[in-house]
Chain A
Amino acid sequence: MTKSRARAVQAMETSMAIELEIQLVAVVVAVACALSGVFLVLRRMALMSDAISHTVLLGIVLAFFLVRDITSPFLIAGAAATGVATVWLVELLRRTQRLREDAAIGLVFTALFSVAVILISRYAGSVHLDTDAVLLGEIAFAPFRRLEVNGLDLGPRTLWVMGGVLGLNVGFIALFYKELKLSTFDPGLAAALGFSPVLLHYAFMTLVSVTAVGAFDAVGSILVVALMIAPPATAYLLAESLRRMLLLSVAIAAAAALLGFWFAWIVDASIAGSMTSAAGVLFLAAFLLAPHRGIVAVQRRRRRQRWEFARLMLAIHLLHHEDTAASATENHEDHLGAHLRWDARFAQRVIREAEEEGLLRRSPSGVLHLTDQGRLAATQAMQV
């Protein structure tokens, strides 16, 4: 869905601030997905979101066969149920011990998806059960499907639905925060403490399914995966606590939604695709630039450490040979290189930096002498 198309449709309607409404929906969707996603990432179940996003099609199809009404909310219930069924089936396959978990996930979701596509082709071909819509979503249509109660326009329907879903997510996480945290990081202990991690697991997966189904309407299933994984993964690189990670995920998700929307609006491209790409860009930024874990930071630290350790080793070497007869030669700046097996340039730089740091001083003859500070640093470093 692009700006040009939205505008074309808008010409037929008179809604105010269409951009505002779309953005609102986008942010709500992104935040709801991110909240569920945090625990998916931490529990190493990220690809379950991919699996569920494909299998819900079957749930929708089966529910449709039951109620024969494409706009029925029963469809959402059916879709959510398949989410749980997916988890259950994967678990079943895994427990046979004949298949690994990742293979089980891949088999289950492709099988169910295939069944869904076949069912649609065979029995629902006449009804427009748009598989594209499920996979790709139509977020810009959101403002045009409004919730009307007693003739009163309450705003885009998607906003209400996703708002509810967001509320569910916030509520669930707030209510079961301690249990979620424990069962994520220490499931053994959780079970020992008496509450059932398995029950919580299935409850959580139900929440994920409901969230995913609600979000499909807006951004399509494949991009739900992006919103569930990328912002939490980005936050994972930046946060040191679960609370932090949740907060950061929300912020990053909202940022991705807004940035993506505006890019798509200006360039006239797919809004959902842009939101995903924005999430990807933010991830890349964190991957490279995160304070302790980012690539840049790690490289810098490695380089810094190399010199740091070298200086300390120099100090230790000086300490060892300080009071010996050979100290005049051993601690001479020209011979250091030979003894420590450093090449001349490396040795010179280390000596210079050590001098700047106040660890040693150079005598006119070229012999190096430890300062008190240097002696302290060397002794401390040798303390094990």
Chain B
Amino acid sequence: MRDDVAIEINDLTVAYREQPVLWDVDLTVPAGVLMAIVGPNGAGKTTLIKSVLGLLKPAAGRILVHGRPYREQRRLVAYVPQRGTVDWDFPTNVLDVVQMGRYGALGWVRRTGRREREQALAALEQVDMVDYADRQISQLSGGQQQRVFLARALVQDARVYLMDEPFQGVDAKTERAIVTVLQSLREAGNTVVVVHHALQTVPEYFDWVTLLNVRLITAGPVAEVFTGENLRVTYGGRVPFHGSMPPVSQEQL
């Protein structure tokens, strides 16, 4: 178990049919950073975090979370997916969704109780949604939905947080609120990895950044690595892998 490196990725290659979506990615994410993953559409950003989470099977490579394989470390990793992955017309309320973050810890059959309820309320407090605890989830705005997903992750009491485009389609106030939570997570010594789509806010929100376009372009502290030259290389529309194949589209991911 390593304390200083949150995620270690070696030679990660993920293929979709004949084309690599991620090719030979070597990435070391130090513990305690708030890191953005940026890159053009089809760069493999979502694929990268899904691979870390074991949701995708790589063609090659190895991933360690705090020094051990992800399988052994699930309790340490919390996932905040894109909002669109779920049907929000499901009959349930906000508190219930947040409590789902404790299902893994409870294990089979055991029910949620007062303890889980209190933990959920505390998480909702953190994202400023505690007044909405009884609200039906279909009545939530985009920003509110995002905060509910964040609360669900907070309840897991993890050390590493992986988020997929949390600021997509969210109002400015919510965005600020979420960033504040992420920063406080970092202050507490956790590692936060965010797939981010808006380049202009990277220097403001994050201290570490990974530039990705099928291959790893570069990764490191924002001040050092987030340069015009590197961005040009990342977004330059270069064709990945065997020369003549077009980049993989977002839908195929």
Instruction: Please give the residue numbers on chain A whose beta carbons come within 8 Å of chain B beta carbons, in ascending order.
Output: 292, 301-302, 305-306, 309-310, 313, 316, 340-341, 380-384
Contacts and interface: CB of A to CB of B under 8 A. Distances in A.
A280 B118 CA distance: 54
Contact of B60 (A301, A310, A316, A383): A310
Interface stretch (B73-81, B99-107, B222-230, B235-243): B235-243
A313 B62 CA distance: 14
B18 interface: yes
B213 interface: yes
A310 B214 CA distance: 17
Contacts of B214: 384
A341 B62 contact: yes
A305 B15 contact: yes
B13 interface: yes
Given A316-B24, A340-B11, A384-B213, A301 B59 contact: no
Contacts of A341: 10-11, 62
A313 B24 contact: yes
Interface of B: 10-11, 13, 15, 17-18, 20, 23-24, 59-60, 62, 213-215, 217, 238-243
Contacts of A340: 11
Contacts of B59: 302, 305-306, 309
Nearest to B18: A301
Nearest to A308: B59
19 contacts: A302-B15, A302-B59, A305-B15, A305-B18, A305-B59, A306-B59, A306-B60, A309-B13, A313-B11, A340-B11, A341-B10, A341-B11, A380-B242, A380-B243, A381-B23, A381-B241, A384-B215, A384-B238, A384-B239
A340 B23 CA distance: 15
Prevailing SS type, chain B contact patch:
strand
A341 B60 CA distance: 11
Nearest to B242: A380
B213 A313 contact: no
B62 to A, nearest CB: 6
A292 B19 CA distance: 13
Contacts of A316: 24
Contacts of B10: 341
A384 B15 CA distance: 16
A290 to B, nearest CB: 13
Given A305-B15, A306-B60, 16 more contacts: A292-B17, A302-B15, A302-B59, A305-B59, A309-B13, A309-B59, A309-B60, A310-B60, A341-B10, A341-B62, A380-B242, A381-B23, A381-B241, A383-B243, A384-B214, A384-B217
A220 B13 CA distance: 51
A306 B58 CA distance: 9
B60 A313 contact: yes
Contacts of A302: 15, 59
A96 B211 CA distance: 46
B252 to A, nearest CB: 14
Interface-central residue, B60, B62, B213, by most chain A CB under 10 Å: B60
A316 B241 CA distance: 13
A380 to B, nearest CB: 7
A88 B17 CA distance: 40
Nearest to A317: B11
Contacts of B215: 382, 384
Contacts of B60: 306, 309-310, 313
Nearest to B24: A313
Interface-central residue, B18, B24, B238, by most chain A CB under 10 Å: B24
Contacts of B17: 292, 301
Nearest to B243: A380
A382 B217 CA distance: 11
A381 B59 CA distance: 16
A384 B240 contact: yes
A340 B215 CA distance: 18
Contacts of B62: 341
Contacts of A292: 17
Nearest to A312: B24
B222 to A, nearest CB: 22
Nearest to B236: A384
A383 B215 CA distance: 9
